């Protein structure tokens, strides 16, 4: 239930309860006042008549006194006046209308008023009993008499029903007016402002911080709207500042990656220079032979063809190096990871050969492409860093194995990719690119720190400590992570996990 509706219902219930209690107290008070008037009238009439009956009884006897009682009864239209003997048996003409036990105080000389409510179809009545002292020579001895002055409660019931109707109508009208006033005020001062506040909060949640909320109320709701406007202004300023800082951070991160890429390029320069030396010597020798005329005819054409082939070979090597070193933004698209691994190994073949390291690629047995949505340049930078680290980890040479396959895996703790909002991301199908070396391995105390910036175990001039940190950031941006498995003296395995392509995407690719 909404706040305005709760407020309105609570006020209506409160007003109804108060008016209902007032109506009940009013009816009870009216009944008590009506019966008090009846008792007072019966008391006054009974006292006067009792004095007259007592005096007449003592002078002229019982018959004349009872005749006076009958005359008084006939003269009254609303009251029933009788002479009663307190010891008269039920059914006697002078027996009381109520139980004899109730009249014990009257026998002791005390006036008594008693109410009998209607039941079984009969009318209720209020009876007052005034004891009368019977004295004189003609009085009966040993009997106690009293005047019974009774009045029907029918008039009281009519008055009570009229009072209940009057109070009920008044209560309903007042409750209705209060409810109407409460609804109008609740909707105007609570309902509409809260609705506008709710809409504003929804817009803020969607990122729309524009358009201040103007309620024009000088109360708590208005103060809340003012604070919300101030909060939106502060959030807008924070967003602007955050956007600027994020842009600067991204620019710095891209510069860091580019610097790390150029560092790797510098490491590759010597190996590529050696790789270019052989084709350059071939080109120079064959071109010289053609120039001085040592060859002619078909042999000259063969030498020219060899020059062209070697030139294309050098051009390809230089183009790969330039593509790797060139700075550009991320461009993800569907690519075969096996081809990317093979291209990266081609670029690093001179460095591996110089270190007496043999490389091999373990592709899927069925030969099917392993497609993934990646940025080729960034993934090559990750693989280059892992391969170079693996080559450096084998100073005496060895075998560096690269594998590409699909497998089920569960993201580790601290995973920040898709589904990271869950407490425990479910296992699923991932693309795994592994780089395994036969080197010295990583001590257990260092495994947890290998992805920290500037952490390195290499000698001075061999590493900046940023390569693995940059690589991990690139993989995270691709929605994956890097796992490390290492044993001292037996080598290390770095596994890059990337999101798997959906079947439809793979078929399209």
Query: Which residue, among 204, 252, 206, 251, has the nearest Cα to 225 in the 3D structure?
Result: 204
Q: What is the mean pLDDT of residues 384-399?
A: 89
Q: Angle at which helices 220-292 and 192-205 pack, to 10 degrees? A: 20
For residues 355-371, give the mean pLDDT. 82
Q: What is the rounded average pLDDT of the residues 238-254?
A: 83
Q: What is the pLDDT of residue 222?
A: 79
Cα torsion 131, 135, 139, 140 to 10°: value is 60
Q: Would you place residue 88 in the very low, low, confident or very high pLDDT band (cuts 50, 70, 90)?
A: confident
User: Are 197 and 3 spatial neighbours (Cβ–Cβ below 8 Å)?
Assistant: no
Distance CA(423)–CA(413), nearest Å, equals: 9
At 227, the pLDDT band (50, 70, 90 cuts) reads confident
The predicted pLDDT at position 507 comes to 45
Tokens coding 469: 């940190």
Is residue 178 within 8 A of residue 10, CB to CB? The reply is: no
DSSP string, 89-136: PTTSTT--SS-GGGGHHHHTT--EEEEE---TTPPPEEEEEEEE---S
Which residue's structure tokens are 């909002």?
A: 421
Phi and psi at 481, nearest 5°, equal -155, 170
pLDDT tier, 404 (very low <50, low <70, confident <90, very high otherwise): very high
Identify the DSSP state of 140: P
Per-residue pLDDT band for 423 (boundaries 50, 70, 90) equals low
Residue, of 263 and 104, whose pLDDT is higher: 104
**Cβ neighbours, 10 Å, residue 190:** 19
What pLDDT shows up at residue 44?
92
| Residue, of 422 and 490, whose pLDDT is higher | 490
Range with the poorest average pLDDT among 128-142, 231-245, 444-458: 128-142
- Tokens 């580019």: give the residue: 258
Span 167-186, average pLDDT: 81
Copy the structure tokens of residue 132.
């009368």
145 with 84: CB under 8 angstroms? yes
Distance of alpha carbon 53 from alpha carbon 83, whole angstroms: 10
Q: Could you give the CA distance from residue 469 to residue 386 in angstroms, rounded to a whole number? A: 11
Q: Mean pLDDT across the chain, nearest whole number? A: 80
pLDDT in tens, 19-37: 788 888 888 888 888 888 8
Per DSSP, the three-state class of 409 is: strand
Query: How far is the C-alpha of 412 from the C-alpha of 108, rounded, in Å?
Result: 101
Structure tokens at 349: 């073949």
Section 299-324 average pLDDT: 73
Of all residues in the chain, the percent with pLDDT exceeding 90 is: 12
pLDDT at 363: 80
Helix axes 220-292, 298-325, angle to 10 degrees: 160
Is 83 within 8 Å of 94 (Cβ atoms)? yes
Give pLDDT, residue 493: 94
DSSP state of 489: T
Asked whether the predicted pLDDT for residue 4 surpasses 70, the reply is no
User: Given this model, what pLDDT does residue 399 score?
Assistant: 92
119 CA to centre of own chain: 62
Q: Does 128 have pLDDT greater than 90?
A: yes
Percent of the chain beyond pLDDT 70? 82
Check residues 164 and 388 and name the one with the higher pLDDT: 388
- b/e string for 1-11 if b means 16 or more Cβ within 10 A? eeebeebbeeb
Q: Does residue 344 carry a pLDDT above 50?
A: yes
More confident residue, 274 or 68: 68
**CA-CA distance, 115 to 239, in Å (whole number)?**
83
Name the band, by pLDDT with cuts 50, 70 and 90, for residue 506. very low
Taking alpha carbons only, the member of 119, 142, 145 closest to residue 132 is: 145
Mapped onto helix, strand or coil, the DSSP state of residue 74 is helix
**How far is residue 242's CA from residue 209's CA, in Å, rounded to a whole number?**
15
Q: Which of 36-50, 130-144, 179-193, 449-463 is the most confident on average?
A: 36-50
Average pLDDT over residues 360-371: 79
Residue 503 confidence (pLDDT) above 50? no
DSSP codes, 423-468 = SSPPPEEEEEEEEE--S----HHHHTTTTSTT---SPTTT--S-HH
pLDDT of residue 133: 81
Residue 509 has pLDDT above 50, yes or no: no
E strand or H helix that includes residue 163: helix 154-186
pLDDT of 436 reads 93
Question: 3-state SS of the chain: helix, strand, coil percent to 5?
Answer: 55, 15, 30
Angle subtended by helix axes 298-325 and 376-392, to nearest 10: 100
Exposure b/e, 56-90, CB count within 10 A at least 16 = b: bbbeeebeebbebbeebbeeeeebebbbbbbbeee
> Distance between CA 92 and CA 106 in Å, rounded?
19
For the segment 159-180, the average pLDDT, to the nearest whole number, is 82
Write down the pLDDT at residue 498. Answer: 92
Strands 357-362 and 398-409: parallel
The most confident of 69-73, 286-290, 292-296, by mean pLDDT: 69-73
pLDDT on residue 235: 84
Nearest residue to 398 (alpha-carbon basis) of 437, 447, 362: 437
State the distance between the two ends of the chain, measured CA to CA, in whole angstroms.
Answer: 53
Residues 6+ apart with CB under 8 A from 171: 16, 19, 20, 22, 23
Query: Under DSSP, is residue 137 helix (H, G, I), strand (E, B) or coil?
Result: coil
Supply the pTM of this predicted model: 0.43
d(CA 409, CA 413): 13
């Amino acid at each position: 239930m909404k706040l305005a509706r709760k407020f309105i219902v609570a006020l209506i219930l409160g007003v109804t309860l108060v008016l209902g209690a007032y109506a009940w107290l009013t009816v009870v008070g009216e009944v008590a006042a009506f019966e008090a008037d009846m008792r007072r009238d019966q008391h006054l009439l009974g006292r006067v008549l009792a004095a007259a009956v007592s005096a007449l009884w003592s002078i002229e006897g019982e018959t004349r006194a009872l005749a006076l009682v009958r005359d008084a009864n006939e003269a009254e239209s609303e009251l029933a006046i009788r002479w009663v003997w307190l010891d008269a048996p039920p059914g006697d003409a002078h027996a009381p209308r109520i139980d004899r036990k109730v009249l014990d105080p009257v026998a002791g000389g005390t006036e008594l008023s008693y109410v009998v409510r209607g039941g079984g179809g009969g009318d209720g009545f209020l009876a007052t009993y005034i004891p009368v002292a019977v004295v004189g020579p003609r009085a009966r001895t040993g009997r106690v008499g009293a005047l019974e002055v009774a009045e029907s409660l029918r008039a009281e019931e009519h008055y009570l029903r009229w009072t209940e109707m009057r109070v009920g109508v008044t209560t309903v009208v007042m409750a209705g007016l209060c409810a109407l006033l409460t609804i109008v005020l609740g909707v105007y001062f609570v309902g509409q402002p809260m609705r506008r506040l709710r809409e504003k909060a929804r817009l803020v949640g969607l990122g729309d911080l524009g358009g201040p909320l103007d309620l024009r109320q000088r109360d708590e709701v208005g103060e809340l709207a003012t604070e919300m406007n101030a909060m939106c202004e502060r959030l807008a300023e924070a967003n602007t500042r955050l956007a600027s800082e994020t842009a600067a951070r991204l620019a710095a991160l891209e510069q860091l990656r580019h610097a790390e890429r150029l560092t790797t390029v510098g490491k590759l320069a010597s190996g590529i220079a050696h790789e270019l030396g052989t084709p350059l010597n071939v080109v120079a020798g064959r071109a010289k032979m053609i120039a001085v005329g040592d060859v002619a005819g078909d042999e000259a054409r063969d030498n020219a063809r060899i020059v062209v082939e070697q030139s294309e070979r050098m051009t390809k090597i230089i183009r790969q190096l330039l593509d790797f070193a060139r700075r550009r933004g991320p461009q993800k698209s569907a690519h075969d990871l096996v081809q990317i691994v093979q291209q990266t190994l081609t670029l690093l073949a001179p460095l591996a050969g110089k270190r007496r390291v043999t490389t091999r690629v373990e592709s899927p047995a069925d030969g099917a492409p392993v497609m993934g949505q990646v940025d080729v340049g960034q993934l090559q930078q990750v693989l280059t860093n892992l391969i170079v680290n693996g080559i450096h980890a084998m100073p005496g040479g060895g075998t560096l194995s690269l594998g590409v396959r699909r497998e089920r895996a569960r993201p580790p703790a601290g995973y920040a990719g898709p589904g990271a909002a869950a407490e425990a991301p479910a296992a699923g199908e991932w693309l795994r690119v592994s780089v395994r070396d036969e080197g010295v391995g990583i001590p257990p105390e260092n495994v947890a720190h290998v992805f920290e910036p500037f952490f390195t175990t290499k000698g001075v001039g061999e590493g900046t400590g940023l390569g693995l940190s940059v690589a991990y950031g690139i993989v995270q941006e691709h929605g994956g992570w890097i796992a490390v498995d290492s044993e001292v003296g037996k080598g290390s395995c770095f596994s890059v996990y990337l999101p798997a392509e959906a079947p439809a995407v793979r078929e399209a690719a």
